Amino acid sequence: MSAPLDTDVAFETPEHIVFHYRLAGPARRAVAYLIDLALCYGIVALLALVVILAFYGSATSGDISSGAKAGGGLVLLALFAAQWLWFVVWEATRGQSPGKMWTGVRVLAENGRPIGWRAAALRNLLRAADALPTGYLVGLVSMSASSRFQRLGDLAAGTIVVVPERVKVASHIQLFPPALPRELATLPEEVALDADERESIELFLRRRFTLGQARERELANMIAGPIAARFGFRHDDPSRLLAILYDRAVNVGRTEAPPSSWRPRTGPAPAVGKGGAPPRWP
């Protein structure tokens, strides 16, 4: 059963891994925006209260000191940051403001990649136009007319807001056979993979048994190249390299490893369930 075209988007990576996202509608985005407003202006109000209490004596006596003026200037700067910088900084660095994190939405470029500073600044500068004439009426009209629920800021910046739906797997992949000391010679003690890297490696490792050996090595090289270069890790077998990196990032420190989905390539290939489910060995 396929999802409605207007609420589902798919992006294919160079490694031929497809990520599906559901577009975030106006209601969820409005809740995220209200949460962000409460947070950022709440911080400004708290700062203003601290300044008022700190310089209450000079204000009541009519003698406003230079410190009180500086405190007022600090509050004005915080107000400017809340209005113009809060969303830009969060979205450019993480793709999500705190409100978006809470409601589970994320800003992406139209090609599915993370947005940068330029796109984040442009989509938020045009927020003032989307808010016209009142209650974000222009933004709502724009989102209603767009097949991807894009307000004017999104259309100008080339961005969309999605609800990431990660592939949920039944268990972690356990490395088998265990890594040898010589394989770990250049592996750092700590390996941190972001969510996209981890998901790409998981999908590859779970589906590698359905690929021919040539295709498996080709895809493994595509994924492993930039990741291995970042960690300075080397291995002759790119598939094994990805398995070791994944094991160090995910499974190290686990006291009870789940049933292994790793088996030597012997006998018939395993059957893979829908949606990248773990292989079922005969």
Could you read off the pLDDT of 92-124 as tens digits, one per residue?
Answer: 999 999 999 999 999 999 988 899 999 999 999
How far apart CA 25 and CA 100 sit, in angstroms, is 12
| Domain ranges (residues) in the chain | 5-164, 181-280
Please report the pLDDT score of residue 64 as a whole number.
Answer: 59
- Which residue(s) pair with 11 in the sheet? 19
Please report the pLDDT score of residue 59 as a whole number.
Answer: 54
Chain segment 153-169, per-residue pLDDT in tens: 999 999 999 998 654 54
Mean pLDDT across the chain: 80
- The model's pTM is 0.58
Closest CA to 196 of 94, 267, 100: 94
End-to-end CA distance of the chain: 29
Higher pLDDT, 142 or 279: 142
Phi, psi of 124 (to 5 degrees): -90, -25
DSSP letters spanning 7-45: GEEEEE-TTS-EEEEEEPPHHHHHHHHHHHHHHHHHHHH
Residues 39, 98 contacting (CB under 8 angstroms): yes
Please report the pLDDT score of residue 264 as a whole number.
Answer: 40
Residue at 50: amino acid letter: V
Q: Residues 6 or more apart from 1 whose CB is under 8 A from it?
A: none
Q: Residues 6 or more apart from 50 whose CB is under 8 A from it?
A: none
**Whether residue 58 has pLDDT greater than 60:** no
pLDDT above 90 coverage of the chain, percent: 35
Centre a 10 Å sphere on the Cβ of residue 190 and count the other Cβ atoms it contains: 9
**Whether residue 38 has pLDDT greater than 90:** yes
Q: Sign of dihedral through CA atoms 87, 92, 97, 103?
A: positive
3-class secondary-structure state, position 1 = coil
Please report the pLDDT score of residue 14 as a whole number.
Answer: 65
Instruction: Determine the average pLDDT of the residues in 51-57.
Output: 76
Q: Residues 6 or more apart from 31 whose CB is under 8 A from it?
A: 99, 103
**Whether residue 252 has pLDDT greater than 70:** no
**Whether residue 212 has pLDDT greater than 60:** yes
Please report which confidence band the pLDDT of residue 206 belongs to, taking 50, 70 and 90 as the band edges.
confident
Q: Residues 6 or more apart from 69 whose CB is under 8 A from it?
A: none
Helix, strand counts (H, E) of the chain? 12, 6
Largest Cα separation within the chain, whole Å, is 89
Higher pLDDT, 53 or 172: 53
Residues 61, 202 contacting (CB under 8 angstroms): no
